[in-house]
Chains A and B, each alone.
Chain A
Amino acid sequence: SQQGEEDPQALSIQEGENATMNCSYKTSINNLQWYRQNSGRGLVHLILIRSNEREKHSGRLRVTLDTSKKSSSLLITASRAADTASYFCATLRLGAGGTSYGKLTFGQGTILTVHP
Chain B
Amino acid sequence: GAVVSQHPSRVICKSGTSVKIECRSLDFQATTMFWYRQFPKQSLMLMATSNEGSKATYEQGVEKDKFLINHASLTLSTLTVTSAHPEDSSFYICSARAPGVLNEQYFGPGTRLTVT
Chain A contacts to B: CB under 8 angstroms: 2, 30-31, 35, 40-45, 48, 88, 92, 94, 99, 101-109, 111
Contact = CB atoms under 8 A, between A and B. Distances in A.
B89 to A, nearest CB: 14
Given A92-B102, A103-B34, A42 B46 contact: no
Query: Which secondary structure characterizes the binding site on chain B?
Result: strand
B112 interface: yes
B101 A102 contact: yes
A2 B32 CA distance: 21
A111 B43 CA distance: 11
A35 B41 CA distance: 15
B44 interface: yes
A37 to B, nearest CB: 9
